[in-house]
């Protein structure tokens, strides 16, 4: 199990300091964010946290005339379950509801995916979950083979099966995410999802029809070439986990490899990109 570091930034003025904080912290590897004005909390695995980030951020805020106060807290892995339950909001879309077992019938509208988050961490990324699911509604997944990278709780893999995918490989570096995905697949009566622990090194298959990757900007940039080689010709790549300000950098890197940008989706400063292998 991995402990997380919570970096709390109290900013004056909060706007636009909060937007700068999420962009800058993401550059340093922070994975998820929670806004509680006048503060924003950023989360990163403890093993990846470098204290030199704090003076670097202070200098950047000062250059923008934003006062900043920093507080560092350690979040033991055993506390993540409660963090999830306290802050997990149902994702209610036009055709889909993503709920946890503790959500009542009033949240279960249309097609339903029920998940038990358990140890999977990332409560700040519900906007990107919604964006990915929204984009998937516009794709034809019937009889497709799908790769879901950074599967977490398995939401997107389950969504892919419900939309008709023939086979889904769901990959995550965290062993409890793999276990959680397997449990959530059973919870939603899915039989075509194979969960694997690891990174792109555990994916030996090629010719995927669709790759889903809701991770973060730095990991996506590092994996783009591997995604390209794993897709079939004219295969689709759906990316999220980053901010609207990151779209251009990801687009340039993807187009250099041979992808074409088909569409973008945005929600509360988060973005999702649909790319096609040329």
Q: Domain of 22: which CATH number?
A: 3.30.70
Q: Assess if residue 170 is contained within a domain.
A: yes
Kindly indicate the confidence band of residue 79, based on its pLDDT and cuts at 50, 70 and 90.
low
Are residue 247 and residue 159 in the same domain, yes or no?
A: yes
More confidently predicted of 116 and 192: 192
Are residue 66 and residue 176 in the same domain, yes or no?
A: no
List all residues 6 or more positions away from 67 whose beta carbon is below 8 Å from its beta carbon: 11, 12, 61
pTM: 0.77
Rounded average pLDDT over 5-10: 96
Are residue 58 and residue 166 in the same domain, yes or no?
A: no
Q: Is the pLDDT of residue 76 over 90?
A: no
Tens-place pLDDT, residues 110-138:
999 998 866 554 444 578 888 999 999 99
Rounded average pLDDT over 177-191: 94
Q: Assess if residue 102 is contained within a domain.
A: no
More confidently predicted of 31 and 156: 156
Kindly give the residue spans of alpha helices, DSSP state H, lying in the chain.
14-27, 53-63, 80-87, 126-136, 155-162, 175-187, 217-230, 247-257
At residue 84, the pLDDT reads 62
Q: Assess if residue 80 is contained within a domain.
A: no
Averaged pLDDT score across all residues of the chain: 90
At residue 75, the pLDDT reads 84
Kindly indicate the confidence band of residue 90, based on its pLDDT and cuts at 50, 70 and 90.
confident
Q: Assess if residue 103 is contained within a domain.
A: no
Spatial distance between the Cα atoms of 12 and 106, rounded to a whole number of angstroms: 39
At residue 101, the pLDDT reads 87
Angle made by CA atoms 106, 110, 113, in degrees to the nearest 5 = 85
Q: Assess if residue 89 is contained within a domain.
A: no
Spatial distance between the Cα atoms of 216 and 235, rounded to a whole number of angstroms: 21
Least confident segment among 93-107, 154-168, 193-207, 244-258? 93-107
Range of the domain at 9: 4-75
Q: Assess if residue 148 is contained within a domain.
A: yes
Domain endpoint, select from 60, 75, 90: 75
Does residue 41 contact residue 69 with C-beta atoms inside 8 Å? Answer: no
Minimal CA–CA distance to 6: which of 63, 77, 68? 77
Are residue 158 and residue 266 in the same domain, yes or no?
A: yes
More confidently predicted of 219 and 32: 219
Rounded average pLDDT over 234-254: 94
At residue 245, the pLDDT reads 86
Does residue 23 contact residue 40 with C-beta atoms inside 8 Å? Answer: no
Angle made by CA atoms 111, 113, 117, in degrees to the nearest 5 = 165
Query: Could you tell me the two tokens for 14?
Result: 């909060």
Are residue 252 and residue 148 in the same domain, yes or no?
A: yes
Q: Is the peptide bond before 277 cis (omega within 30 degrees of 0)?
A: no
Are residue 49 and residue 186 in the same domain, yes or no?
A: no
Q: Domain of 198: which CATH number?
A: 3.40.50.150
Q: Assess if residue 92 is contained within a domain.
A: no
Taking each helix axis from N to C terminus, what angle separates 217-230 and 247-257, rounded to the nearest 10 degrees? 20
Kindly give the residue spans of alpha helices, DSSP state H, lying in 64-118.
80-87
Rounded average pLDDT over 136-151: 97
At residue 134, the pLDDT reads 93
Rg of the chain over CA atoms, in angstroms? 18
- The phi, psi pair for 144, rounded to 5°, reads -95, 165
Minimal CA–CA distance to 45: which of 2, 88, 104? 2
Are residue 221 and residue 147 in the same domain, yes or no?
A: yes
Total domains in the chain come to: 2
- The phi, psi pair for 124, rounded to 5°, reads -85, 0
Does residue 171 contact residue 196 with C-beta atoms inside 8 Å? Answer: yes
Are residue 139 and residue 70 in the same domain, yes or no?
A: no
Residue 207's alpha-carbon distances to 133, 204, 239, in angstroms, are 22, 10, 18
Q: Assess if residue 104 is contained within a domain.
A: no
Query: Could you tell me the two tokens for 248?
Result: 């251009």
Are residue 27 and residue 146 in the same domain, yes or no?
A: no
Q: Is the pLDDT of residue 209 over 50?
A: yes
At residue 72, the pLDDT reads 97
């Amino acid at each position: 199990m991995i402990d997380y570091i919570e970096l709390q930034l109290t900013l004056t003025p909060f706007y636009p300091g909060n937007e700068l904080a999420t962009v800058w912290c993401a550059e340093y590897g922070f994975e998820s964010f929670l806004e509680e004005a006048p503060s924003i909390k950023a989360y990163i695995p403890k093993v990846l946290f470098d204290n030199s980030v704090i003076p670097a951020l202070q200098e950047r805020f000062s250059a923008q005339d934003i006062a900043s106060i920093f507080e560092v807290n350690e979040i033991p892995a055993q506390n993540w379950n409660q963090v999830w339950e306290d802050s997990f909001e149902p994702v209610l879309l036009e055709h889909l509801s993503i709920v946890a077992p503790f959500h009542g019938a009033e949240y279960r509208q249309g097609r339903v995916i029920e998940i038990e988050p358990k140890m999977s961490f990332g409560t700040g990324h519900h906007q990107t979950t919604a964006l990915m699911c929204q984009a998937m509604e516009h794709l034809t997944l019937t009889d497709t083979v799908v790769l879901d990278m950074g599967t977490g709780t398995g939401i997107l893999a389950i969504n892919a099966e419900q939309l008709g995918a023939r086979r889904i490989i769901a990959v995550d570096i965290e062993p409890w995410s793999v276990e959680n995905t397997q449990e959530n697949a059973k919870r939603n009566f899915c039989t075509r999802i194979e969960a694997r622990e690891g990174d792109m090194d555990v994916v030996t298959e090629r010719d995927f029809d669709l790759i889903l990757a809701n991770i973060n900007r730095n990991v996506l940039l590092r994996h783009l070439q591997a995604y390209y080689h794993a897709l079939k010709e004219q295969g689709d790549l759906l990316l999220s986990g980053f901010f609207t300000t990151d779209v251009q950098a990801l687009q340039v890197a993807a187009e250099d490899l041979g992808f074409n940008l088909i569409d973008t989706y945005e929600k509360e400063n988060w973005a999702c990109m649909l790319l096609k292998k040329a």
